[in-house]
Every structure is written in C-alpha cells, then in structure tokens.
Amino acid sequence: MQSSLVIDESPAESPPEWSTFEARRRRTLIFLLFAAVYIGYHLIMRWVEYPLFHLDWFYFGGEDWPKLPIWAWPWYKPEFAYRWFLTLLPLAAWVGILFFFLTRVSFLTHRRVAVIVIILGLIFFEGDMRWFQMSKKHVSWSEILAVMDQNSSDLGLRRSDYEDIGWQFAYHVLFLALCAFFAGPEPRFCIQAIWNGPAGRTYVGIVCRGFYHALVWLRLEAFVFRVLGWFDSKTAFACLAVLVMIDPVVIWAFDQEKQDNQGERSVTRHIADANPLRWHSLDRGWNRVVLAYSEESQELAAANTALRDLGTLSISTQGAVLAIPKRNIPATPDSILILQAETLSAEMFNETDLPFLNEFSKKCLRLKRHFSAGNATHYGILGLLHGSPVTFFTGPRETHRPNPYLDQFKDHGYKTRLITRSVMGHHKLGHYLPNWTEPVSEPGGDWKVIPVIHEEMAKPEPRLVFSFYHATHYPYDHDDEPRFKKYLPEVDYNFNYNRSNLSEWKVKIVNRYKNTLLNMDDWYRDILEKVDLSKTIVVITGDHGEEFFQQGRLGHCSSLNIHQTMTPCLVYIPGVEQADVNFVTSHADIMPTIADALGHAKKPDMLGQSLFEPVSFRYAVLSHFEYTKCLLWAVATEDRMAVFQRDYWDNIEIVGLTDWNGQRKAYRPEPEIWADRFRIIRRVETQLRASRD
C-alpha cells in the first residue's frame, strides 16, 4: 500500500490544494468512511438485524444473563462482542480494498468514481439480500443474468416491488451524494459564506464561530487527519487482512456444537451467512479444510470408493414387491390430460380443505411420497413429460432435443398439444419440447386456457394435452372474493417479503398460500367438469414443492430438502381402483405409468419406473436449480438421501448422506443398505455422459 497520507496540520483555514492528488485521496477516503457508516446502518438495521438482535439474546427470551454492568457483557460472553466484530469486519475490509484500488491510478482517485462504485455495489447487495431474506442463499452471477432475461411474471414481481426498488435506489443515491458533499471542502465554504453574512452577526453565529475556533485551538481536526493517515498505512492494511483470514476460523469454533445437523447453525454462523459483504468463499474454504480431516470425510471417502467399485448396476430384487395392480379392463386409447400447478407444496396441499380436489382424489391413485424431478419449474415440467431425471438439460440449445414420449404417443395415433399461459419460453423449455403434433396455444392467463382445453379434449381422436397453472407461485395471487379468504389472517398481495424477520410472518404467509390453493381448486373443477372421465387419464401434480420456513427459508430453488422437492400427485386412470400409494414415486414415473396403462409394449429407455412395474426398489432422482446443466443432485428413497455433485467432465462424487430431515447418516456401519442408491447414481452418471451433445 502507498505511504501514509500527507496531513497538513496547519489550521483548517489552509486546506490542501483542491486539485492535488493527495487532496483527492483524502477526500476519497473520507467519502468511503462516510459511505461505510451509511452502509453499516443498512447492514445492522436491515440485512442482519434479525440474527444479530433476535436470536437467543436474553431480552428476547433467550438465556438469562447475570446482573452485570453493560461494559462487562463482552467479558462474560466473548461471542456477544464477536457478533458485532464479524458484522462490521467485512465492511472495514471493503473500505480498505476500494481505497487501495481507487488510489492506484490518478484518474480513478476522485469522489465521483467512488460514488459510482458504491452505488453499483449497493444495487448488487440490495438485490442479493432481497433474494437471501427468503431463500437463505446469496445470489449468483448466473441468477442475476437470468433475472435480466426473465419475464417479471415468471418471477412473481409486482408493481409494488418495482416501486419499492425505485425508492430504495433513490434513497441510496441521495445519501451517497450527501456523503460525497460532506467529504469535501464545500461545506466549509458554505459555512464561511454564512458566517460572513448577516447570520454570522447573530448570537447563534457568534456561538458557532466560537465553537469552531475552539476546535481549531484543540487541533482536533489535525488529530482526525492523523488517524486517517494511519488507516492509509501498510500496517493497517496488513492487520485488516489478518483479521479477515482468521475470521472464518473463529466462526467455525463458535459453530462446533451445531455441526451434527446440516440444517442447524449457531447464531454466529447465522450472522455470518446473512452478511452480504462477507467473502463467503473463505468460509467455504475453511470448511473444506476442516472436512478433509473429519470423520464425515472418511465416511464420504468410503462411500465414493464403494461407488466406483460397484460390480454391477443391476438393482437388487430382494424385498417386497412395490407396485399397484393394473386396470381390470382391457387397455383403450384413452385421452390424457396432464394438469400441473406451479409451486404445489405437499404439506400445505394436505392441510387445505380443497372441495373439488378432495372429492376427485377419491377416484385416484394418491401418491403420498411423491417427488418432483427437482426444485425448479423447468425441471418439474421436463422431468414429468420426458419420463426421466433431467440429465439431458443443458440450458439453451442450438439444435432442439425432442421429447421421446411425445414421439411415442404420436406413433400410437395420439395428437399432442400444450395449452397454457407462457411456458415454452421459460428457461428455454421449448428447446426440449419441440415435437408437439398440434400448434402450441399460450393464452394470456390461467383461466383463458380452459375453453381451449375443452375444445381440444372434445375432438374425436385420442390426444395428450398438457396445461400449467401459474398463480400459486410467490407472491401467491388469488381472487378478491370471500370464499378465497377462508384462512385468515393473511398478508396482503403487496406484502414486502424482503425483510430479515420474515419467519415471524409465517402463519399469515401460509394462510395466503392456502387461500391461493382454494382459487386453484376452482380452476381444476372448471376444467374437469366438462371432461369425459370414462375415457380420459388425468394427472394432477405440481412442478415442485415450496418451503415455508421448515428449515428457515421461504420458496424454492435453494435446497434439495423434501419441502422444496415433494409435491402432491393424483393419477386417475379409468379402470384402476383408487388407492393410497405409500412407496416413493417421482415425476419421472408418470409417463411410463401412462404408457403401461395404455398397453404400450415398448417405452423409451429412461430411469422412470411405471407404478405397475413389480420392483422391490423405488427412488426419485432430484436436481438442484441451475440455469444450464445441473451440478447438484440427490437420490431419495424411503428413508434417506444420497447427495452427489457433478463436475465439468460429468464425473460424480458423493457429497452427503442424510435422512429426509438433513441429519447425517453413516455409510460404513451399513454399506449394503446404500448399494442400490449408489447404483442409481452410477446410472445417472451414465446418462449425463450420454447427453453431452
């Protein structure tokens, strides 16, 4: 770092020359410190306010503290003081880094440049924290690009969101402009002009002038500039770098007592995770160092060795047969109606009184442990329609990839058609569903698709129709009618979900979601009341689940836990008796089941399993949200999950063995139980490599 600031210790009436490099450096540093105070306010009072002030503090219902003076609290419990330190350390580090780089080149050393840099940073941090407050996951660069490319209706953005963002941006610009103003000599010139005018001859002016001369006589301004000079030294920069490097180690030490549960964190870790200014890569790096020497690492190493040493990929045939009886009438060319809803939580679906669907479900196969193909919309749609985990998905494609099941039904004389509000453009879904036999219809609303569906289903030839309901996506929109306000109190449509204490609103948010499900129930009723169920197979399901703070988050796309990946599924097949299906099923199983019910002798070679197929091992392959190819996967079975990661060359490594609640499970005491799970992982790896084109 450059040597210390050259400080002019003469009286304040003789400031450094306005245009000199040293004067610009000093103004830049002062502005950065003012801006740090402003950002620190948002950091403490908005972004990390909830974990910093509400988690296990004694006056919020946490542990009782002894009757000690306030100054003694940090000595009684060092973590108390460290919470403030870990909150503000990244802010100090950013000030040092920005000042270092802005003062390396002369034309960058100016308040104007610093203002632009800080504004751009604040825009990023605001967007990041708006996503984090719900998902507990910081935004990635690919997600930023996707937001710029997506239609706001797909993201659930409302007019109130845009207004709030606009006002917040205006506040930032205003306050940073004031910080830049007060960092320069302009305020001094303004005050001098006031004092030299009539105001200087008033009693107030005389008192202010005397106060100013007292500050000059005490040389406080020179002392402040001397301190600023030390901040600009190599010593200060080195100390800051050391503190940043050891910070993850200290957090890990405080976090030790919570390490057995992947979904549980200490308050210190919560604060660290919430802070958008932290270098979270340092935390991840230290965690990898610790993991390398832990018992968990030994377990995962043994599991990965077993994964590579599998002698066969054939699934064991031992155990009870997991299947449902086939229909008791000969297969007929039934039409097929697949109705999928956005963001359909299995837990909330079962808790909500849905008049039509509850009655309709009495005719159906009710899949009680049903998983989507992933935790995002494009995975949920593609996994269902392709009858496979989304091993084939790689984002936008120059050459489109046909859906093998659409070709299968075409070969059996079916007309196939998509009738729904905009779907084909969502994450380039149309690149993987190009082979509908009939023109795609995308009316401008959920309810506008209903007459088009009725018209299509009334045609004489057998046909497969797919439709999708959107309104159940955040922010959970429903009509303003009394019958859709059964669950109260609820948050209103313009409720601000970007708050650090969002979990305190859980009941009202859940009630709004349930009321939205009531509205959705009418949509299903209006469609199915005019469909001939004697010759139509009907599938009702969601694209994925939704987490409602069960593990601290709201929404989806942020975890492979059961709340974000399990969704209800009803399958109605004429001639098949209604039943509860209690073994694990997946979206990938739906199309094989339909083909099997229709008597198709041959089906596409996918990982999906027909519900009629007599097997002793059932599973679901889950994919974690990405905009291009998926990197994080899981195999879910009746009581556990094996989480695995894919690298650039499509090699697979197991990174977690857990139960459905995220608790770690051991491998070495029961390796035979994991064997079939590992065989599915190897099959997924084979498909990933085969899909590189």
Distance CA 366, CA 529 (A): 20
Residues 388 and 606 sit within 8 Å (Cβ to Cβ): yes
Identify the DSSP state of 326. P
What is the average pLDDT value for the chain, to the nearest integer? 87
β-pairing, 579-586 vs 365-371, is parallel
**What predicted TM-score, i.e. pTM, was given to this entire model?**
0.86
Paired sense of beta strands 632-636 and 641-646, if any: antiparallel
The strand ranges marked E within 191-334 are: none
Q: Which of 161, 42, 109 is nearest to 497 (CA)?
A: 161
Residues 629-640, mean pLDDT to the nearest whole number: 94
pLDDT in tens, 482-501: 999 999 999 999 999 988 88
Please determine, for residue 571, whether its predicted confidence score (pLDDT) is greater than 90.
Answer: yes
CB within 8 A of 202, min separation 6: which ones? Answer: none
Rounded to 10 degrees, the C-alpha dihedral 18/20/21/25 comes to -30
For residue 292, pLDDT beyond 90: no
Lowest mean pLDDT among 84-93, 129-138, 214-223, 614-623: 214-223
User: pLDDT at residue 681 above 90?
Assistant: yes
When pLDDT is cut at 50, 70 and 90, the band that residue 581 belongs to is very high
Q: Which amino acid is at 161?
A: D
E-state strands within 594-691: 620-623, 632-636, 641-646, 652-658
pLDDT over 70 percentage in the chain: 86
Q: Which residues pair with 463 in a beta bridge?
A: 415
The residues that bridge with 621 in the sheet, in sequence order, are: 635
What are the DSSP E strand ranges found in 355-425?
365-371, 415-418
What pLDDT, in 10s, does the model give residues 25-68?
888 888 999 999 999 999 999 999 888 888 765 433 344 555 55
Phi, psi (degrees; rounded to nearest 5) at 686: -60, -45
What domains sit in the chain, N to C, each tagged with a CATH number?
A: 21-184+269-290 (no CATH), 299-323+631-693 (no CATH), 337-614 (3.40.720.10)
Q: What pLDDT score was predicted for residue 61?
A: 36
Write the pLDDT tens digit of every residue in 302-319: 999 999 999 889 888 788
Average pLDDT of the residues in 448-461: 96
Helix or strand or coil: residue 622?
Answer: strand
Range name among 10-14, 100-104, 182-186, 680-684 with the lowest pLDDT average: 10-14
CA distance 61 to 74: 19
What does the angle CA 563 – CA 626 – CA 595 come to, to the nearest 5 degrees?
A: 70
In this prediction, residue 436 carries a pLDDT of 97
User: φ, ψ for residue 655 (rounded to 5)?
Assistant: -120, 0
Residue 682: CB partners within 8 Å, gap ≥ 6? 307, 310, 313, 652
Other Cβ atoms within 10 Å of 214 Cβ, number: 10
Q: Would you mind telling me the total number of residues written for the chain in this entry?
A: 693
Confidence of residue 262 (pLDDT cuts 50, 70, 90): very low
Give per-residue pLDDT as tens, 186-197.
776 666 666 666
662-688 CB burial, b ≥16 within 10 A, e <16: bebbebeeeeeebebbbbbbebbbebb
**Mean pLDDT (whole number) for 162-172:** 91
Q: Which residues of 527-563 are buried (b: 16+ CB within 10 A; e: fewer)?
A: bbeebeeeebbbbbbbbbbbbbbbbbbbbbbbbbbbb
pLDDT of 584 higher than 60: yes
For residue 161, what are the contacts with CB-CB under 8 A and spacing of at least 6? none
Residue 464 scores a pLDDT above 90: yes
State how far the Cα of 290 lies from the Cα of 285, in Å rounded to an integer. 9
> Could you read off the pLDDT of 419-453 as tens digits, one per residue?
998 888 888 899 999 999 999 999 989 999 999 99
Give the model's pLDDT for residue 589.
97
Tokens of 89: 């350390």
